[in-house]
């Protein structure tokens, strides 16, 4: 079982296809991270549905090819969480032991790959229903994308903390 938890945060890209007279319109509109907070529960439910597809209790950690890293990372699961009134993507890694700086960098590369081409690519192709159309949540952005460890988010956000009213998810 995991002895530590590492949480990795990243911005989301959310688009909507508004419902028009003849069904969904062809012109997607990007929704801001603040606006999409209203859909947090629906997004969490869609993520939980996707996470049930794992054939194991390790989630995405099963796909880590580096043997040493695979031995240290027990589990890796995607989710979303509200930080400072904005919805962020998050990967939570259960660790059997601490990672070195090089291993942390390798895990961040793995998460980036899963967000852009793996789990995240599959997830962004599934519509999440809302009353006036559907939204598509991408764990990858081609612009303004970076991964932040939880301590970096805490340092950047004075309101970050458990039990704080701006937090949600998980």
Question: Is 165 in a helix, a strand, or coil?
Answer: coil
Q: How many CB atoms lie within 10 A of CB 78?
A: 21
Q: How many CA atoms lie within 13 A of 119 on its CB side?
A: 28
pLDDT digits (tens, 9 = 90+) for 129-163: 877 778 999 999 888 889 999 989 877 765 554 43
What global pTM score does this model have? 0.83
For residue 24, what are its two tokens? Answer: 């969904």
pLDDT digits (tens, 9 = 90+) for 78-101: 999 999 999 999 999 999 999 999
Cα–Cα distances (Å) from 155 to 37, 98, 116, 158, in that order, read 22, 21, 26, 7
Alpha-carbon distance of 166 to 45, in angstroms, equals: 20
Q: What are the domain boundaries of the chain?
A: 4-156
- CB–CB of 90/80 below 8 Å? yes
């Amino acid at each position: 079982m995991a002895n530590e938890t590492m949480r990795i945060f990243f911005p989301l890209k959310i688009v909507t296809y508004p419902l028009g007279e003849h069904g969904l319109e062809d012109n997607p509109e990007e929704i801001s991270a603040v606006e999409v907070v209203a859909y947090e529960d629906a997004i969490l439910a869609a993520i939980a549905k996707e996470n049930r597809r794992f054939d194991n209790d390790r989630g995405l950690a099963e796909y880590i090819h580096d043997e040493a890293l695979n031995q240290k990372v027990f589990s890796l699961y995607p989710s979303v969480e509200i930080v400072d009134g904005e919805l962020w993507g998050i990967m939570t890694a259960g660790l059997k032991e601490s990672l070195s700086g090089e291993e942390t960098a390798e895990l961040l590369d793995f998460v980036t790959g899963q967000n852009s081409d793996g789990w995240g690519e599959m997830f962004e192709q599934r519509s999440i229903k809302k009353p006036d159309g559907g939204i598509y949540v991408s764990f990858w952005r081609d612009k303004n994308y970076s991964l932040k460890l939880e301590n970096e988010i805490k340092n950047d956000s004075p309101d970050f903390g458990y039990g704080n009213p701006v937090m949600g998810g998980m």
